[in-house]
Amino acid sequence: MRAMGYEARPSALHAKFNSRYRGASVSFQTASRWLSGKSFPEQDKLVVLAQLFRVDPQTLRFGGKGHLQVNDQRFMWPERVSPRDQALFEDFLLLPAKQREAVRALIESLTLEQQKK
């Protein structure tokens, strides 16, 4: 979580996980137990956590430092794109079309401002 720029707190995990998981929401207490090691996520939840934090599910289950893309393995992000930026782009793709257009307009405006400097 820290590598992705999030505080390793139950509230942060709870909110991030539930924003991506398509099943029944997990409770704050469940997220807290996951972080403290008192319980372990079921496989479907483990896969979502692995996707969120850009590690393979085996690393979450067994430990280690394997940082693999869980989603489409054929696509490799350039090294300059941080895991947090990757997650931001995936969040962007979840937005409705109108909101994506608003974000695009903002980015284009900021980029134009930066190019003028």
Query: What pLDDT score was predicted for residue 71?
Result: 47
Phi, psi of 17, deg, nearest 5: -60, -50
Query: What pLDDT score was predicted for residue 117?
Result: 79
Mean pLDDT, each 10-residue run in order, the chain (117 residues): 82 91 92 90 90 82 59 63 84 88 93 86
Question: How many angstroms separate the Cα of 82 from the Cα of each of 78, 97, 114?
Answer: 9, 25, 21
Query: What pLDDT score was predicted for residue 104?
Result: 92
Query: What pLDDT score was predicted for residue 103?
Result: 94
* Full-model pTM: 0.57
Residue ranges per structural domain of the chain: 1-75, 77-117
Contact (Cβ atoms closer than 8 angstroms) between residue 57 and residue 71: no
Q: Which of 4, 1, 3, 2 is nearest to 87 (CA)?
A: 4
Alpha-carbon distance 50 to 103, whole Å? 26
